[in-house]
């Protein structure tokens, strides 16, 4: 599924799983939640490197296209629902 979805769609439209940020980092989307003040949908995700910290970002921002160096691309690109298993030795 193309992650460039309409953010007004139900949050189930964003598949859980692994995404690559336009700067290269890989993140695992764990779920969606609502902001208590604005009721905006938020994406709850974890970086898959470094300190493995947890983050939240508005769904609308997560799925919006970004223009960088004259090229428009997804801020986060869907990779897979599950990370591939390491090959057996």
Residue 57 confidence (pLDDT)? 96
Q: How many structural domains does the chain have?
A: 1
DSSP symbols for 15-74: --EEEEETTS-EEEEEEEEE-TTT--EEEEEEESSTT--EEEEEHHHHHSEEEETTEEEE
Whether the CA torsion 44, 48, 50, 51 is positive or negative: it is positive
Residue 41 confidence (pLDDT)? 92
Record the pTM. Answer: 0.79
The answer to the question of residue 2 being in a domain is: no
Q: CATH no. for residue 16? A: 2.30.30.320
Provide the domain limits for residue 28: 11-80
Rounded to whole angstroms, what are the CA distances from 32 to 4, 55, 81, 83, 87?
16, 11, 15, 19, 31
Residues in the chain predicted with pLDDT less than 50, given as ranges, are 1-5
The answer to the question of residue 46 being in a domain is: yes
């Amino acid at each position: 599924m193309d992650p460039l979805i309409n953010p007004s769609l139900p949050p189930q439209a964003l598949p859980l799983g692994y995404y690559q940020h336009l700067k290269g980092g890989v993140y695992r989307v764990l779920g969606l939640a609502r902001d208590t003040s604005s009721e905006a949908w938020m994406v709850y995700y974890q970086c898959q490197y470094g300190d493995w910290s947890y983050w939240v970002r508005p769904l609308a921002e997560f799925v919006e296209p970004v223009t960088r160096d004259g090229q428009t691309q997804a801020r986060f690109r869907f990779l897979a629902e599950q990370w591939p298993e390491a090959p057996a030795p």
